[in-house]
Amino acid sequence: MNPTGLAFVQRALSGLEALGSAQVLEVGAYDYNGSARAAFQGLAVGSYVGVDIAEGPGVDVVCSVHDLCARFGPGRFDLVVATELMEHVDDWRNAVRQLKEVTREGGALILTTRSRGFPYHGYPYDFWRFEPEDGRRIFADWDIDLLEADPAAPGIFLKARKAGRPEADLAGIALYSILCGTRKLNHGPGDGDRVARMQEWERGLIDTPLAHRLYVRFWRRPWRNLEKAVARTLRGGGGPRP
């Protein structure tokens, strides 16, 4: 999470009523290079649960985004926070449904994710890019309080409230695929080969702690030349040269 994302979460929290008794869920809570939990420092909440797919800093419960309702039950949380998660989930529609369903009626969701122009940053996966118009369509069934671009790097910030309207139809929404360089409804079997090649490249690049730290640092730089190099690799045209 970059500083502008953290600042957005702090600003979004300032407009929430009854925060002191709120049941809060952070999805994708592993504190790898920053966590939304920092925005809650000094704030009293009813409870705070951080979930991710592996144990680590900031993770209270190991749980996939796809299993939220099975683990916690529908309408369980007053506030759900998901920062820098959605671009890494291939089945983003089910992830959105889970985030929506686990939020109580009238509850809020704070979400940050990446847009087109932000380079590939898998470790281990990276699939999609979300634009403001995508956010509006995906959350057409909610009341959107805030929807804005990240001023520091390609990405969007969203705060929305569950409004009790019929669920938005996500089936026809095509997102920009970082793997394919175009908008797609879903990834197909051939796209899995691209993922495998990209992971192989990552493993070769991130083979020492120093190289890994440098790689993480430069994830945040919207270098179009890196994105083009990655696209060449995925098409089989030679390895990227970061």
What is the block-wise mean pLDDT of the chain (242 residues), using blocks of 10 residues? 93 87 95 87 93 94 97 97 96 98 97 96 87 98 98 97 96 95 90 65 56 52 46 49 35
So what's the pLDDT on residue 144? 98
So what's the pLDDT on residue 234? 52
So what's the pLDDT on residue 220? 38
Number of H helices, E strands in the chain: 7, 10
So what's the pLDDT on residue 232? 55
* DSSP annotation of 229: H
d(CA 22, CA 119) in angstroms, rounded, equals 35
Residue 127 near residue 95, CB atoms below 8 Å: no
d(CA 112, CA 84) in angstroms, rounded, equals 6
DSSP code per residue over 167-223 = PP--TT--EEETTTTEEESS--HHHHHHHHHHHHHHHHH--SHHHHHHHHHHHTS--
So what's the pLDDT on residue 17? 78
So what's the pLDDT on residue 32? 80
pTM of the model: 0.81
What sections of the chain are H helices per DSSP? 3-13, 68-72, 92-101, 132-138, 189-205, 209-219, 224-234
Query: Per the structure block, which two tokens stand in for 220?
Result: 């945040």
Nearest to 98 by CA among 77, 79, 74: 74
So what's the pLDDT on residue 16? 86
Q: Domains of the chain by range and CATH? A: 3-174 (3.40.50.150), 182-234 (no CATH)
d(CA 25, CA 28) in angstroms, rounded, equals 10
So what's the pLDDT on residue 15? 80
